[in-house]
Amino acid sequence: MAERLVMVYSRFNRIWHWSQAVSIFLLLFSGARIMGLHGAMPFGLAVTVHTGVALALVLLWVVVIFWLLTTGTWKQFIPTIAGLGEVARFYAWGVFKGEEHPYRKRLGRRLNPLQAIAYFALKAVLIPAIWVTGLVYLVHGFWSHLDPGDFWLWLVANLHILTGFAIASFVVVHVYLLTIGHSFREHVRPMINGFEKIDLTPEQEAYLEANEPERLHRELRNGP
């Protein structure tokens, strides 16, 4: 295995990532205003922004799901317990002692076991939950006659809020992890230019050289 700087995040992948990041920030900010946690924007504007951005994000997720399924990228998010203990120990203890990260990124598996579990939970549980509860709440007018005491509305709203806080927690942890190990700039750069250092087998390197040379950064194409 040799470490190479490889294009692993396509342009669509990066556009999707940053569009989702901005959308989540706007949703958290406007949602906090709707809850009365701050007064930095008018209530009516917060509702409009929250609804509009949410619908745009749902559309983006539909496109992303199609992209994940057709490109096979969804396989990156399949959880695995192999190496999970070592990675968990690193984040709980080793990182504070300056130890090297135990997981080596590969072409077909960029996410370490802990990341895979976290992203799987986000994409398979939290995102569908925030999506469904938000849409059900949005069309309350169509089913309000079935809920005269507003119990189900209260339940849907609180599930939506709890899921929102869970996603906010994921964002906080995600940003925190960008500050440990390498510099913040090194962590963020791959999602800007698409290139990241990963381990390649001789066969993978030969395939990329022959068929997709543009994915190998010229500075590290002949060695780290």
pLDDT of residue 79: 85
Q: What is the pLDDT of residue 134?
A: 95
Average pLDDT, the chain: 88
Section 76-102 average pLDDT: 85
pLDDT score of 209 more than 80? yes
* 133-140 long-range contacts, CB within 8 A, separation 24+: 133/157, 133/159, 133/160, 133/163, 134/54, 134/160, 135/58, 138/51, 138/54
Class of domain 2-220: mainly alpha
Please report the pLDDT score of residue 181 as a whole number. Answer: 67
Give residue 8's pLDDT: 87
Band (pLDDT 50/70/90 cuts) for residue 94 is: confident
pLDDT at 2: 77
CA distances from 123 to 59, 65, 115, 116 (A): 15, 10, 12, 10
> What's the rounded mean pLDDT across residues 15-34?
95
pLDDT at position 135 is 95
- For residue 45, pLDDT beyond 90: yes
Q: What is the pLDDT confidence band of residue 35, given thresholds at 50, 70 and 90?
A: very high
Q: Which pTM was predicted?
A: 0.85
The answer to whether the beta carbons of residues 220 and 46 sit under 8 Å apart is: no
Structure confidence at residue 153 (pLDDT): 95
Q: Determine the pLDDT at residue 58.
A: 93
7 touches 215 (CB < 8 A): yes
Query: What would the DSSP string read from start to end of 22-60?
Result: HHHHHHHHHHHHHTTS--SS-HHHHHHHHHHHHHHHHHH
Task: Round to whole Å and give the CA distance between 175 and 191.
Answer: 13
Q: Is the confidence at residue 176, as pLDDT, over 80? A: yes
Which range among 16-25, 84-93, 114-123 has the greatest average pLDDT? Answer: 16-25
Domain extents for the chain? 2-220
Query: What does the pLDDT average to over 55-73?
Result: 91
Taking only the tens place, the pLDDT of each residue in 130-173 is: 999 999 999 999 999 999 999 999 999 999 999 999 999 999 98
Range in 33-37, 106-110, 125-129 the model is least confident about: 106-110
